[in-house]
Each structure stands twice: as structure tokens, then as C-alpha cells.
Structure 1
Amino acid sequence: MAATLKDIAQSVGVSLATVSRVLNYDRTLSVSEHTRKQIFEVAENLNYTKLKRRPAMPDKQLKIAVVQWYSETKELDDLYYMSIRLGLEKRSEQRHFLTMRTFQNDLNAIDPDVDAIIAIGKFSNQQVAALARLTPNLVFVDQDQLCHGYDSVVTDFQFAVDQVVDAFWAHGQHRIGLLHGAEWTTDKELEVSDPRLKAFRRTMTARNAYDPDLVFAGDYTNQSGYEQMKRAITQLGDRLPDAFFVTNDPMAAGALKALREADLAVPDRVSLIGFNDTTIAKYVFPELSTVHVNTELLGSTAVDLIENRLQTGRSTPQRVTVGTELVLRESTRSLKKA
């Protein structure tokens, strides 16, 4: 069962109003970054289910460096990566492994005696090579590095996007807009395009329905979602589609705000589906329909791959692809089954 605002407020020791405003990215609220971080982490943790414990490796406590490409502050703006990290840390605790976190690919912070590295996010070839010099036991989460010889845990984006388009299409919503993101690795050597854009273009083109005028690029933040939806409203006017797919939940929450300000009712005028199903999807208004990504499984699978590699001496790389589930809530009321 999902955590309530009251559960979170009691755990952190703040008011219900403070929790609600933080989870809705209200930057006018005067609250410390520490409290904000606590609220997000407690919200994520309270939604986790306990995994069955398995015996730890008997010989020694393994040291795993967790390299997060986001900064600690930016991680709060996109809870997807925080959720992966929390799932990874929970599985490591169950195995009695020691995890050491570093943010923004700070290699100087990594213990030289580390047994393995789990890299979360996107990394350039130069960064991958630098990590490999520290240990051959590498797992990448959310980036496919199988072709370079490294274990990888990824999401099936094509399947997820097909689910979204199918859902809209089944209810006669054929003009579908897209808000997507793009960003760079921390060393600025590699631009990382949104894989959901490629999947969306492929799926819509196959239906002779892809319209580049309905596609808007942002940077995955709440503010970007707000700005890009305002841009769509201004540019398209009466041609604004009645359905939008937004490629992460923070952007979708920002898009909801822009639609409210323009008096465009959700879902009556515009249906909206986000991506990742992070905590904020349940606390925005209206509640956000979204694609659920099992971030806990992504993180725990990375730990399992490390454990397998170290126990068996396996050198052949593996790629594990995790599926998704479309969760329909109030932002797509018309799509709900009767």
C-alpha cells in the first residue's frame, strides 16, 4: 500500500501541508534542502516492499561503489535515479554488502580497494574507461553497455511507449503530443537523447500519425515540463492535441501546472501520461497516469549481477531488460475501464 501524506509527515516531523508542497515541487516554500531530501527519501522508502532475505556471501564483506551521474541535489528533481539507488542499497543491505555512494562521477571519492562498481545513469566512453581502470566488475544501470563488454540493467522503452500509444489510440486519441528530455554526460562528451523519443517516433510513424510539430524538447525537470507545455499551448492554440505523453513524472507535473493555468481541464480537454511512476505521480492533482518502472528491481538486479560475477568468476557480460506497466489514474480519466 502506498504511503499517505500523514505517514510521511509523521516520519519526517513536519506538517501535512509541507509534505504536500514539497512533493508538488513548490519552490516558494521556505524549507531546508535537508528536510526536502528527507521527505522525498521517506516517501520513496515507505512505498517499498521488503524482499525475502538470502544468505550473504560467507567470506568477507564486499565493497560496492555506487556511482551516480546526478548530483545529490539534482537527484531530488528526478526521483527515478533516487529510487534505483534506494533499491540497490536495500538489496546490498540484505546481502551484507557495504555500499559507498559518490555523485557526479567523482572518481576521487571511490575507495581504491573497491570490489565492484555499479554506475547509475549515463556515462561517456571516457568515463566508462576510467571506471574500468578501477575494477573489471562493473554494472551499468539505465545505460546499455553490453556492446562494450559490461553487465547492464535497462528498461524496455519500446514496449512502454507502445503501451502508452495503444491506450490513447483505443479511445480515439490519435493526435498525440510528446514532451521529452535530452541531456549531456557530466564531462560534456556525450549528448544523451531520450530513448522514448525514438520509440515514440517509430510507433507513431507506423500508424502514419507522427507529427514533429507536436514534439517539444526539455531537460527532464519540473520547470522544463511547465515551460514546454506553455510553449505547446501558445504555438498550437486550437490545434493542441487532446493527449500528451511526457517522458518523466517531474516534467509531467510541470505540464499539469501549465494546463491548469491555461484553464485547460485535465483529463477532459487534455489527457496526460507520464513515465517512471515515482512518488510524485500520486500526490499531484489530478493524480498522474504514468508508466510504472520497477526501479527497485533495476537496483536490486544490479547487485545480483555483481554477486553472480564475483561468486562464479563469470566474465561474459549480461544484459537484463526489465519490463514496464501502464498505470492509469485521474489524468486520463476517460481511459479507465468502466
Structure 2
Amino acid sequence: MVTIYDIAKKTGYSVTTVSKVLNNYKHVSHKTRKAILDAVEEMGYLPNSHARTLTTKKSWTIGVIFIESLGVGMRHPFFSAVIESFRKDVEVLGYDLLFASRMINNQQMSYLEQFKYRGVDGVVIVSSLFDDPQVEELLESSIPTVVIDLNVREAAVVHSDNFKGSYEATEYLYSLGHRRIAHIAGHATTFAGQERRNGFYTSLTSLGLEVPDSYVVDGEFFSKEGGYKAMNQLLQLSEPPTAVYAAGDMLAIGAMEAVKEAGLSVPDDLSIIGFDDIELSQYVMPPLTTVRQDTTMIGQEAATLLLHQINTGEEVTDSIVIPVTLVKRGSVKSLQRVDKIT
């Protein structure tokens, strides 16, 4: 069995330095940390969980709360990618993930009660919804916590720059000559939905365009069905838009389906932009122009924030905003005339 001494011998670093890396102490250089973690993975180092628990007073378990309103659970493409990134970062240090269940021994328990019962070292909350009393109770507790995709003051948070991504997506449509630009919005009870709607409005206002109320349609909770219904509503207008910015890729994909069923073409008759850059977006026809969220960085930053709290006992309320990128594909068309050279 590979030991911490074997890792030290292979890398040339002291046992103390290896131990600091394995316990995610901050004051270790990136080069040193990478060399040790690479050796850990290469040599298949697996620390003895019972011994670690006795010596470190940790359970080496991190609780996971996952809240979304579509009922698809971990099949949700954005959230599953974020959790996978988070898992990779904490697993290499010996942590296991425990997904929350409201029932233990046939007794209903709150998230806080369950995690106290399990003795987790920390909790990651993945949610876009405001005002969940179970989450609020947990945030008020002493358990180290990090929140993904929501902005709260009581805890460390990591989320994408939803506002800027929406602003740039709308500005891009304008730069291509579109002036009748509509928005299929995410539900107003979600942080992402609010921020993306605000980015859309702010962008068009700064460009001097008024947004008719009929051009902003609720796509509900970012579902394909919600996008389909919203797009049909926009197509019924006496003056329909030439372009639509949808607050999520599944909304955009549903909108594209509605356009095709109406006998129209994307992008010849109507341009569409999404948000997320889920894997499916590059395979629909035409491939979807969208705003890419860096799910790898979101998971990594969340892991760093949580592990720092676990290892130091410090309460952290930092807010980390992850940059987004506009990915240009085939679902958008320019309306600007290109004069022929004669």
C-alpha cells in the first residue's frame, strides 16, 4: 500500500509538505502542489480513512445539497458538470461526497439535522432558488459552507457572471443589425434568471432601444418545454422579433423547435442565442450560439473556498464571480447589408 512517505520519496518533498498538500493548506506553491497531487494520482495513494478520522478529527465527508425545479436531479447538464469538477478536486485529497436525503432511518430530517447526524466536515449547496428555509437554517449554522449559482451574504459563493454574459449576448445581436430583440427569461425566483434578465434590459437601454413588454416572456425554470411555449408566444405577435436571447440553452433549444414547427428557419428567419454551453448545444442544427459557463472553474473555486474553511476554521463570505465567454456558432445571422464590390 502506498504511504505518505512513498509520495514524499517520489517527489523529493518532505513528509510535512506532502501532508500540507493533502490537507489543502494554502501556503504551498502551485508547482509543489501540482507535483504532489500528480504523484498521488499516479501512485494510487489512498489514505486510511479510520486512521485519518482519529488523527485529524475529521469525517472526510462533504455534504451536497442540490436544488433545482425541473425534477431532473443530477441529470441537469450544468449542475452535474459543476459537481463533477468539485468532486475531482476534493476526491484527490481524500474526501467523499454525501448527497442529502430528507429521510434517515425512516425519519424526516432537515438538511442541517442530517449533516450533523452524519458529521460532515462541510457542505456545498448547488441552487439558483432564493428563500429555501432549509438552506437558510444551514447557512446560519457553524458548518463550513459554500454556495454555487446563488448570491447570499451569509456564506462563500461562486457563480458565473450572468449579468455580463447577458449584456454581451444582447449587444452581439445588436451589432449584427438586429433591433427587434426578445428575451426568453428564466424564472424570476432564480438568481440566474434575475441577473440574465437585468443584463438584457441594461444592454438594450444603453444602446437606446426600448423593450416592449411583449418581447420578454417567462420561460419558467429553464426547460425545453418552457422555451418552446415562450417562442410560440413570440411568434404570435403582429411584429415578431428577428432575434431572441434565451436565458438558458434548453430554453433556446425549445425555442428552435418551435421556430421549425412554424415552418420558419433558424437563423434565416430568426436568430437565437442561449446561455450555458451545455454539450448538446453544439450538436443541434444549426449549432447554438451561446454564452459558455466555465463549469470546471466554478467547481474548483468552490472546492478551494470550502476546504480552506474546513482546514482553518475561518468563516469565509467571499463572492467569486467566474467569467463567461460568448461562443459564436450557426444559430445567429447578420442583418447588415454587405455591398458587393463592383
Give the TM-score normalised by the residue count of structure 2: 0.73
Q: CA deviation at 1:323?
A: 0.6
CA 1:77 to 1:259, structure 2 compared with 1: closer, same or farther past 3 Å? Answer: farther
1:128 equivalent among 129, 135, 145:
135
- The one-letter code sitting in structure 2 at the alignment partner of 1:165 is T
1:140 is the counterpart of 2:140: no
Secondary structure of 2:272's partner? strand
Which residue of structure 1 aligns with residue 174 of structure 2? Answer: 169
Q: CA deviation at 1:65?
A: 0.4
Q: CA deviation at 1:61?
A: 5.9
Instruction: Report if the CA contact (8 A) 1:77-1:222 is conserved.
Output: no
Which residue of structure 2 aligns with residue 215 of structure 1? Answer: 216
CA 1:299 to 1:192, structure 2 compared with 1: closer, same or farther past 3 Å? Answer: closer
Q: CA deviation at 1:77?
A: 6.8
Which residue of structure 2 aligns with residue 178 of structure 1? Answer: 183
In structure 2, list runs of 5 or more residues that go unmatched.
1-32, 41-46, 103-108
CA displacement, residues 158-194 of structure 1 (integer Å, 9 cap, x when unaligned): 2111211221121111221100121658xxxxx9853
For the aligned residues, what is the CA RMSD?
2.9
Q: CA deviation at 1:232?
A: 0.8
CA 1:184 to 1:207, structure 2 compared with 1: closer, same or farther past 3 Å? Answer: closer
Give the TM-score normalised by the residue count of structure 1: 0.74
CA distance in 2, matches of 1:70, 1:197: 19
Q: CA deviation at 1:272?
A: 0.6
Instruction: Report if the CA contact (8 A) 1:62-1:97 is conserved.
Output: yes
CA 1:210 to 1:81, structure 2 compared with 1: closer, same or farther past 3 Å? Answer: farther
Which residue of structure 1 aligns with residue 160 of structure 2? Answer: 155
CA displacement, residues 260-312 of structure 1 (integer Å, 9 cap, x when unaligned): 01122111111110000011101211111100001121122111111112223
Instruction: Give aligned-pair identity as a percent.
Output: 24
Residues 282-321 of structure 1: pairs in structure 2 closer than 5 A: 282-321=282-321
Secondary structure of 1:201's partner? helix
Residues 215-234 of structure 1: pairs in structure 2 closer than 5 A: 215-219=216-220, 220-234=222-236
- The one-letter code sitting in structure 1 at the alignment partner of 2:204 is M
- The one-letter code sitting in structure 2 at the alignment partner of 1:118 is V
1:327 is the counterpart of 2:327: yes
Instruction: Report if the CA contact (8 A) 2:168-2:203 is conserved.
Output: no
Q: CA deviation at 1:71?
A: 7.1
CA displacement, residues 181-234 of structure 1 (integer Å, 9 cap, x when unaligned): 21658xxxxx98532112211221222313122111021111111111011101
2:124 equivalent among 118, 125, 128:
118
- The one-letter code sitting in structure 2 at the alignment partner of 1:295 is T
Which residue of structure 1 aligns with residue 89 of structure 2? Answer: 91
CA 1:221 to 1:291, structure 2 compared with 1: closer, same or farther past 3 Å? Answer: same
Secondary structure of 2:214's partner? helix
CA displacement, residues 131-152 of structure 1 (integer Å, 9 cap, x when unaligned): 136543011101111x23x100
Name which of structure 1's ranges 269-278 and 194-203 shifts more when overlaid on structure 2: 194-203
Secondary structure of 2:326's partner? strand
- The one-letter code sitting in structure 1 at the alignment partner of 2:64 is V
CA distance in 1, matches of 2:279, 2:285: 13
Secondary structure of 1:140's partner? strand
Which residue of structure 2 aligns with residue 44 of structure 1? Answer: none
In structure 1, list runs of 5 or more residues that go unmatched.
1-50, 186-190
Name which of structure 1's ranges 123-132 and 54-63 shifts more when overlaid on structure 2: 54-63
Which residue of structure 1 aligns with residue 272 of structure 2? Answer: 272
CA displacement, residues 36-91 of structure 1 (integer Å, 9 cap, x when unaligned): xxxxxxxxxxxxxxx96864898456211010013794236742222212221222
Runs of 4 or more above 6 Å deviation? 103-106
CA distance in 1, matches of 2:79, 2:176: 33
CA distance in 2, matches of 1:268, 1:316: 50
CA distance in 1, matches of 2:224, 2:164: 25
Instruction: Report if the CA contact (8 A) 2:291-2:324 is conserved.
Output: yes
Name which of structure 1's ranges 80-89 and 321-330 shifts more when overlaid on structure 2: 80-89
- The one-letter code sitting in structure 1 at the alignment partner of 2:231 is M
Secondary structure of 1:284's partner? coil
Which residue of structure 2 aligns with residue 11 of structure 1? Answer: none
- The one-letter code sitting in structure 2 at the alignment partner of 1:221 is S
Secondary structure of 2:79's partner? helix
Q: Which has the larger radius of gyration?
A: 2
1:65 equivalent among 48, 63, 70:
63
Name which of structure 1's ranges 133-142 and 66-75 shifts more when overlaid on structure 2: 66-75
CA distance in 1, matches of 2:225, 2:317: 39
